[in-house]
Structure 1
Protein backbone atom coordinates (compact mmCIF):
# COMPACT_ATOMS: atom_id res chain seq x y z
CA UNK A 1 0.00 0.00 0.00
CA UNK A 2 1.44 3.37 -0.98
CA UNK A 3 0.86 6.82 0.46
CA UNK A 4 0.81 8.33 -2.98
CA UNK A 5 -2.51 9.85 -4.02
CA UNK A 6 -3.91 9.16 -7.46
CA UNK A 7 -3.75 11.98 -10.00
CA UNK A 8 -7.17 13.57 -10.42
CA UNK A 9 -6.20 15.37 -13.59
CA UNK A 10 -6.26 19.02 -12.55
CA UNK A 11 -2.99 19.43 -10.70
CA UNK A 12 -1.52 21.81 -13.26
CA UNK A 13 -4.50 24.14 -13.00
CA UNK A 14 -4.13 24.26 -9.22
CA UNK A 15 -0.46 25.13 -9.56
CA UNK A 16 -1.34 27.99 -11.88
CA UNK A 17 -4.15 29.27 -9.61
CA UNK A 18 -3.58 32.76 -8.19
CA UNK A 19 -5.77 33.53 -5.13
CA UNK A 20 -5.11 37.25 -5.58
CA UNK A 21 -7.11 37.05 -8.82
CA UNK A 22 -10.20 36.65 -6.61
CA UNK A 23 -9.92 40.05 -4.99
CA UNK A 24 -13.08 41.07 -3.08
CA UNK A 25 -12.68 44.54 -4.56
CA UNK A 26 -13.72 43.01 -7.89
CA UNK A 27 -17.26 42.61 -6.51
CA UNK A 28 -17.68 46.36 -6.67
CA UNK A 29 -16.91 46.30 -10.39
CA UNK A 30 -19.71 43.85 -11.16
CA UNK A 31 -22.98 44.91 -12.72
CA UNK A 32 -25.63 46.10 -10.28
CA UNK A 33 -28.48 43.75 -9.38
CA UNK A 34 -31.65 43.85 -11.42
CA UNK A 35 -34.62 45.59 -9.78
CA UNK A 36 -36.95 43.28 -7.80
CA UNK A 37 -39.79 43.85 -10.26
CA UNK A 38 -37.65 42.57 -13.14
CA UNK A 39 -36.53 39.57 -11.10
CA UNK A 40 -40.11 38.77 -10.08
CA UNK A 41 -41.29 39.04 -13.68
CA UNK A 42 -38.53 36.68 -14.88
CA UNK A 43 -39.38 34.20 -12.12
CA UNK A 44 -43.07 34.22 -13.03
CA UNK A 45 -42.23 33.76 -16.72
CA UNK A 46 -40.26 30.59 -15.91
CA UNK A 47 -42.97 29.21 -13.60
CA UNK A 48 -41.09 29.73 -10.31
CA UNK A 49 -43.43 29.29 -7.32
CA UNK A 50 -42.60 31.63 -4.45
CA UNK A 51 -42.99 30.48 -0.85
CA UNK A 52 -43.77 33.99 0.30
CA UNK A 53 -47.36 34.58 1.46
CA UNK A 54 -49.59 36.02 -1.25
CA UNK A 55 -51.10 38.71 0.93
CA UNK A 56 -49.90 40.09 4.24
CA UNK A 57 -53.53 40.45 5.30
CA UNK A 58 -54.05 36.69 5.68
CA UNK A 59 -55.39 35.86 9.13
CA UNK A 60 -52.95 34.74 11.78
CA UNK A 61 -54.67 31.92 13.61
CA UNK A 62 -51.79 31.17 16.00
CA UNK A 63 -52.23 32.24 19.59
CA UNK A 64 -50.87 31.25 22.99
CA UNK A 65 -53.92 29.67 24.57
CA UNK A 66 -52.73 26.80 26.72
CA UNK A 67 -54.04 24.30 24.19
CA UNK A 68 -51.28 21.74 23.91
CA UNK A 69 -52.87 18.57 22.54
CA UNK A 70 -52.89 17.98 18.82
CA UNK A 71 -56.05 16.69 17.12
CA UNK A 72 -55.72 15.46 13.54
CA UNK A 73 -58.57 14.28 11.37
CA UNK A 74 -59.49 13.95 7.72
CA UNK A 75 -62.31 15.96 6.21
CA UNK A 76 -63.59 17.03 2.83
CA UNK A 77 -61.86 20.13 1.44
CA UNK A 78 -65.14 22.07 1.44
CA UNK A 79 -65.68 21.24 5.12
CA UNK A 80 -62.23 22.52 6.02
CA UNK A 81 -62.79 25.66 3.94
CA UNK A 82 -66.12 26.30 5.69
CA UNK A 83 -64.51 25.70 9.11
CA UNK A 84 -61.70 28.17 8.34
CA UNK A 85 -64.18 30.66 6.89
CA UNK A 86 -66.18 30.59 10.15
CA UNK A 87 -62.99 31.01 12.19
CA UNK A 88 -61.92 33.97 10.06
CA UNK A 89 -65.35 35.58 10.16
CA UNK A 90 -65.46 35.35 13.96
CA UNK A 91 -61.79 36.22 14.42
CA UNK A 92 -61.15 32.95 16.25
CA UNK A 93 -58.24 30.56 16.08
CA UNK A 94 -58.93 27.05 14.82
CA UNK A 95 -58.79 25.54 18.32
CA UNK A 96 -61.26 28.13 19.61
CA UNK A 97 -63.55 27.44 16.65
CA UNK A 98 -63.49 23.71 17.43
CA UNK A 99 -64.33 24.41 21.08
CA UNK A 100 -67.27 26.62 20.08
CA UNK A 101 -68.55 23.99 17.63
CA UNK A 102 -68.35 21.23 20.25
CA UNK A 103 -70.11 23.45 22.80
CA UNK A 104 -72.94 24.20 20.33
CA UNK A 105 -73.31 20.51 19.43
CA UNK A 106 -73.44 19.53 23.12
CA UNK A 107 -76.15 22.13 23.70
CA UNK A 108 -78.12 20.84 20.73
CA UNK A 109 -77.84 17.21 21.84
CA UNK A 110 -78.79 17.96 25.45
CA UNK A 111 -81.68 20.21 24.34
CA UNK A 112 -80.60 23.24 26.39
CA UNK A 113 -79.83 26.71 25.16
Structure 2
Protein backbone atom coordinates (compact mmCIF):
# COMPACT_ATOMS: atom_id res chain seq x y z
CA UNK A 1 0.00 0.00 0.00
CA UNK A 2 2.80 2.45 0.89
CA UNK A 3 4.52 1.99 -2.46
CA UNK A 4 1.24 2.68 -4.27
CA UNK A 5 0.78 5.91 -2.30
CA UNK A 6 4.30 7.03 -3.25
CA UNK A 7 3.54 6.30 -6.90
CA UNK A 8 0.25 8.22 -6.73
CA UNK A 9 1.92 11.24 -5.11
CA UNK A 10 4.73 11.24 -7.66
CA UNK A 11 2.21 10.88 -10.49
CA UNK A 12 0.84 14.28 -9.48
CA UNK A 13 4.09 15.94 -8.39
CA UNK A 14 6.28 15.11 -11.39
CA UNK A 15 3.96 16.44 -14.12
CA UNK A 16 3.26 19.53 -12.03
CA UNK A 17 7.01 20.09 -11.70
CA UNK A 18 7.41 19.81 -15.46
CA UNK A 19 4.65 22.34 -16.13
CA UNK A 20 5.88 24.86 -13.55
CA UNK A 21 9.59 24.54 -14.31
CA UNK A 22 9.22 24.60 -18.08
CA UNK A 23 6.88 27.59 -17.85
CA UNK A 24 9.57 29.69 -16.19
CA UNK A 25 12.93 28.23 -17.25
CA UNK A 26 14.27 30.17 -20.20
CA UNK A 27 11.38 32.65 -20.24
CA UNK A 28 11.97 34.76 -17.16
CA UNK A 29 15.71 35.02 -17.78
CA UNK A 30 17.80 33.69 -20.60
CA UNK A 31 20.18 31.66 -18.48
CA UNK A 32 18.97 31.37 -14.90
CA UNK A 33 16.63 28.38 -14.31
CA UNK A 34 14.01 30.18 -12.23
CA UNK A 35 11.42 27.43 -12.69
CA UNK A 36 13.61 24.69 -11.25
CA UNK A 37 14.59 26.99 -8.39
CA UNK A 38 10.90 27.70 -7.71
CA UNK A 39 9.81 24.05 -7.62
CA UNK A 40 12.69 23.11 -5.35
CA UNK A 41 11.97 25.95 -2.92
CA UNK A 42 8.19 25.38 -2.89
CA UNK A 43 8.66 21.62 -2.57
CA UNK A 44 11.06 22.14 0.34
CA UNK A 45 8.54 24.39 2.06
CA UNK A 46 5.82 21.76 1.64
CA UNK A 47 8.09 18.99 2.90
CA UNK A 48 8.91 21.04 6.00
CA UNK A 49 5.19 21.66 6.51
CA UNK A 50 4.27 18.00 6.08
CA UNK A 51 7.10 16.89 8.36
CA UNK A 52 5.99 19.17 11.18
CA UNK A 53 2.40 17.97 10.91
CA UNK A 54 3.52 14.48 11.94
CA UNK A 55 1.38 12.84 9.29
CA UNK A 56 0.45 9.19 9.37
CA UNK A 57 2.77 6.81 7.53
CA UNK A 58 0.37 6.64 4.58
CA UNK A 59 -0.07 10.43 4.34
CA UNK A 60 3.70 10.95 4.63
CA UNK A 61 4.28 8.44 1.83
CA UNK A 62 1.71 10.13 -0.41
CA UNK A 63 2.55 13.77 0.30
CA UNK A 64 6.16 13.77 1.49
CA UNK A 65 7.91 11.02 -0.41
CA UNK A 66 5.56 10.82 -3.39
CA UNK A 67 4.36 14.34 -4.13
CA UNK A 68 7.32 16.35 -2.83
CA UNK A 69 9.80 13.80 -4.18
CA UNK A 70 8.18 13.99 -7.61
CA UNK A 71 7.70 17.75 -7.52
CA UNK A 72 11.28 18.65 -6.59
CA UNK A 73 14.24 17.75 -8.75
CA UNK A 74 17.86 17.20 -7.93
CA UNK A 75 18.82 15.91 -11.36
CA UNK A 76 17.70 19.03 -13.25
CA UNK A 77 19.29 21.17 -10.53
CA UNK A 78 22.63 19.35 -10.97
CA UNK A 79 22.60 19.54 -14.77
CA UNK A 80 21.55 23.19 -14.83
CA UNK A 81 24.18 24.08 -12.23
CA UNK A 82 26.85 22.49 -14.42
CA UNK A 83 25.53 24.12 -17.59
CA UNK A 84 25.60 27.59 -16.03
CA UNK A 85 29.37 27.45 -15.68
CA UNK A 86 31.60 27.97 -12.67
CA UNK A 87 30.49 31.41 -11.51
CA UNK A 88 26.80 31.47 -12.30
CA UNK A 89 26.49 27.77 -11.46
CA UNK A 90 28.02 28.29 -8.04
CA UNK A 91 25.68 31.23 -7.37
CA UNK A 92 22.71 29.15 -8.51
CA UNK A 93 23.74 26.19 -6.33
CA UNK A 94 24.24 28.33 -3.24
CA UNK A 95 21.00 30.25 -3.76
CA UNK A 96 19.03 27.04 -4.29
CA UNK A 97 20.44 25.37 -1.19
CA UNK A 98 20.00 28.42 1.06
CA UNK A 99 16.48 29.19 -0.18
CA UNK A 100 15.34 25.54 -0.06
CA UNK A 101 16.65 25.01 3.47
CA UNK A 102 15.10 28.28 4.58
CA UNK A 103 11.78 27.35 2.97
CA UNK A 104 11.83 23.95 4.66
CA UNK A 105 12.47 25.58 8.04
CA UNK A 106 9.70 28.11 7.38
CA UNK A 107 7.26 25.34 6.46
CA UNK A 108 8.15 23.47 9.63
CA UNK A 109 7.69 26.64 11.67
CA UNK A 110 4.35 27.50 10.02
CA UNK A 111 2.93 24.08 10.85
TM-score above 0.5: no
With the shorter chain as reference, the TM-score category is under 0.3
Higher RCO (CA < 8 A, seq sep 6+): 2
Tell me the TM-score normalized by structure 1. Answer: 0.21
